[in-house]
Copies of this chain bind each other. A is one copy, B any other.
Amino acid sequence: MATTRTGSNLSQIAATLGVSAATVSNALSGKGRVSAELAEKIRATAAELGYTPSLTGRALRTGRTGVLGLVLPDIANPLFPQIAQAIDYAASNAGYGVLIADSRGDVATQTDAINRLIERGVDGIVIVPRRGTRIADIGCPVAVIDSPSTPGNTVSADHWQGGQAIIEHLASFQHRKFLLIGNNPASNVQNDRIGGMRSRLPEGGHADVFWIENHEQRHGKGSLLGLREKVKQGFTAFAAVSDLHALRALTELQRAGVGVPEHVSVTGFDDLVWSSVVTPGLTTVRMDMAAIADIAIAALVRVIEADTTSGSDIPRTVAGTVAAADRSSVPMQLVVRQTSGPPTGIILS
C-alpha cells in the first residue's frame, strides 16, 4: 500500500513508459530537455494515471515548500476577513498556500507564531504586526502590512490620504466642527488617519480628537461616550477612524434622539460588512486590500524565487532576513452612503 493519495508518482509513470524518472520530471516541468513527442506521451500518461506531484517530495529536494505564512495580530479583528481573503487570493494566484497563525495575546505570542511558521518551513511570511511591534530579522522573507508610519519596509493603505478624503467630503457639506473619534493613541494607523483628517480642515474649521480608550479608563468599559454633550457643544461631524467606532457613535446618537444624517453626520473607516446594512448607511473609506495583498505577495515571491537562479545542486537557503515590498502605500477610496444635504445641527436641552 505504497500508494499516494492520488495513486501515482513519477516512477510509476516512468515505469509505464519505460523511461527514466528524470525524463518524466523534465517533461512535466516543461524545462524543454525532452523531445516534443515523448513529452506529449508523458503528459498523457500522467493525466491518465491521475498523477499529482508530491509537494512534499519537491519541497525536500528544492528546499521550498510553496507555502506562505500569514500572521495576524488578532484573528478576531473584524478587518481580518478582508485581509485574509485578499492574501489567500493573491497567494493562490501565485501558486502558494497560506498557513495562518494568530498572535492573539501579547508580543511573545507573535514571536511564537512566527517561529511555528518557520519551523513548518514557510518560504515567506506576511505579517500584520501587533501595535508597537518591530519585526526583527527572522531569517526568512517578510512583508509587513501596517501603516506607512511604521519604520522599515511595509505595504499599507494610505491612511493619511483616506483621512483627507473623509474630511474633504464632510467639509463639502459645510461641516466645520469635527469630532475625530479614535480608540488608541498609540496606533500608527489611527494616528495616520487622524493626521490626514486634520490636514484637510476647511477654513474656520475646528477638530477635537476623542480617544475612546482614555474615556473608558475614566468612565468604565462600554460606557456611553457622551456624544449628546458634544452635539450640544456644536459638533456636527463625527469622523471615526474605524467603522466599529462609527457604529458605536451612530447608535449612541440615534438613541439620544439626534438625527443622522439630517442633524449630524457620522463617518467610518474600512467599509466593514455592516456599513452598508445600518440605517442610515455609513459613509466610509476603504482600503484596496486586493492591491495591498498583491504587492505584499509579489514582493515576497520576488525574493523567494530570486534565490532559485543560484545554480547549485544543493537547495538554496534564504540568507538572513529579507524585508520585502519597499514601502508602498495604496490609495483609499471614499464610499459615500449618507447622501443628505448640509446638516442642520440640533438644539438639545
Contacts and interface: CB of A to CB of B under 8 A. Distances in A.
A224 interface: yes
Contact of A255 (B55, B85, B104, B280): B280
A54 interface: yes
A280 B222 CA distance: 10
Interface residues of A, number: 69
Given A78-B273, A252-B279, A55 B121 contact: yes
B1 A119 contact: no
A9 to B, nearest CB: 12
Interface stretch (A153-161, A168-176, A243-251): A243-251
Interface stretch (A14-22, A187-195, A308-316, A339-347): A308-316
Contacts of A84: 75, 80, 84, 100, 102
A100 B88 contact: yes
A318 B5 contact: yes
A279 B56 contact: no
A2 B314 contact: yes
Contacts of A230: none
Interface in A45-93: 52, 54-57, 59-60, 65-67, 70, 75-78, 80-82, 84-85, 88-89, 92
A217 interface: no
